[in-house]
Amino acid sequence: MNDHRKLGRELGIFDTDPLIGAGLPYWLPAGAALRKAVEDYVHELERRNGYQHVNSPVLGKRELYERSGHWAHYAEDMFPPMRVGGEEFVLRPSLCPHHALIYRSRQRSHRELPLRVAELGGMYRSELSGVLGGLTRVRSIQLNDGHVFCPPEAAAAETSAALDLIEAAHAQLGIRAVRYRLSLGGDGGKYVDDPGMWARSEAILREVLKQRGRDYEEERGEGAFYGPKIDIQIADPAGRESTLSTVQVDLYQPGRFDLRYVGGHRPVMVHRSVVGGLERLAAHLVEVHGGAFPAWMAPVQAVVLPVSETESAAAEDLLRRCVAAGLRAELAPADRGSLGARIRAHRLVPYQLVVGPREAASGQASVRLRDGRQAGHVPVERLAAESRPVF
């Protein structure tokens, strides 16, 4: 069974250090390469689907989260305020208040809507030490977040479009959802007390799920404090479920921030995360693929293997051409063992480029695939093209 906590460290994906603190992992070179590949893919997927990308601070004044409702309903999951110059600042627990302010930074017309805003940004949750584990439960989260501001009559269509993006990304990443969950509100002060608002939001989500013919299960007490959501549940090899991607219909924060478009109309705010937090995503990808990642996201896509030291110069030249073509490539020099031993050491690399005397003379390589099949002499440019995600 692939456990990302063990395999992720063996693969050089991530590690932790007590001097940094529990729940605060750092990304090693292989993990950073994997993360960047996923970031670039999702960024381009969003761009092609009408999203504009923004960046916002990881801090905000306490008043911001009082306005958004986080302070009243979510404070126990937030880090305590920091006092600076007589003001209190908080590490953000989510990105939505910042995006609401970006929306209201200027007057919006009906023709601008839907306004789709996306960001890969840091957020922080004050998780108890006992629930932290590897990359799946952390205190510092790099979240693929996004918000769609749209007229009320477009909320269902935008929710369905967000699910289209999620399902496309899951297919590209090799992720299989175990179930869809309609997460509803509950009792107590954790949730905004406005039954009518909740009913309207739930009706939109139910309509979308019905139109898509999607089976789902309802769970009360799993919604966001401001509204219900559709959660896409995944499972680790031990069968433990967690939420990866989500879509939420928010009728609360637009009112709290007095968001308007011309005519005095109030937009709906659709929250969506295509792949969720990158830490949890990476943990799942390690466990699903066992380190044998698809070529487009593999930390190392190609390894160049000279048969002997005689081919070293040709191998180094080939490595330079691989890098110039956009491949993440490295050299496994002949002085690091026999060819067979080096191939075994790089068994998870999608493309193994063997350079013998004939290949050195012709400036080519004999391409061996990860599953042992021989692909012959494949041009570097073609390998690079085949190592990109499909949109």
Are 98 and 213 found together in one domain?
yes
**297 is a domain residue:** no
Mean pLDDT on 308-328:
96
In whole angstroms, give the CA distance from residue 277 to residue 345: 31
Are 192 and 333 found together in one domain?
no
**176 is a domain residue:** yes
Are 132 and 217 found together in one domain?
yes
**379 is a domain residue:** yes
Which helix (DSSP H) or strand (DSSP E) does residue 318 occupy? Answer: helix 312-324
Which residues 6+ apart lie within 8 Å of 310 measured at CB?
Answer: 357, 360
Mean pLDDT on 162-176:
96
Are 200 and 328 found together in one domain?
no
Which residues 6+ apart lie within 8 Å of 9 measured at CB?
Answer: 15
User: Would you mind telling me the total number of residues written for the chain in this entry?
Assistant: 391
Number of domains in the chain: 2
Predicted confidence at residue 326, as pLDDT, reads 96
Look up the CATH number of the domain holding residue 225: 3.30.930.10
What six digits make up the tokens of 269? 């705010």
Are 366 and 234 found together in one domain?
no
Predicted confidence at residue 189, as pLDDT, reads 76
pLDDT exceeds cutoff 90 at 132: no
**20 is a domain residue:** yes
**228 is a domain residue:** yes
Sheet of 329-331: strands edge to edge?
A: 329-331, 302-306, 351-355, 366-369, 374-376
pLDDT exceeds cutoff 90 at 237: no
pTM assigned to the model? 0.94
Q: Which amino acid is at 79?
A: F
Mean pLDDT on 287-298:
95
Q: How confident is the model at residue 314 (pLDDT cuts 50, 70, 90)?
A: very high
CA angle (39, 44, 47) in 5-degree steps: 125
**295 is a domain residue:** no
Are 352 and 277 found together in one domain?
no
Are 74 and 220 found together in one domain?
yes
pLDDT exceeds cutoff 90 at 204: yes
Domain closes at, from 249, 267, 289: 289
Are 163 and 250 found together in one domain?
yes
Question: For residue 90, what are the domain limits?
Answer: 4-289
Are 231 and 357 found together in one domain?
no
In whole angstroms, give the CA distance from residue 239 to residue 236: 5
What are phi and psi for residue 286, nearest 5 degrees? -60, -45
367 and 383 Cβ atoms separated by less than 8 Å? yes
3-state SS class at 240: coil
Predicted confidence at residue 239, as pLDDT, reads 85
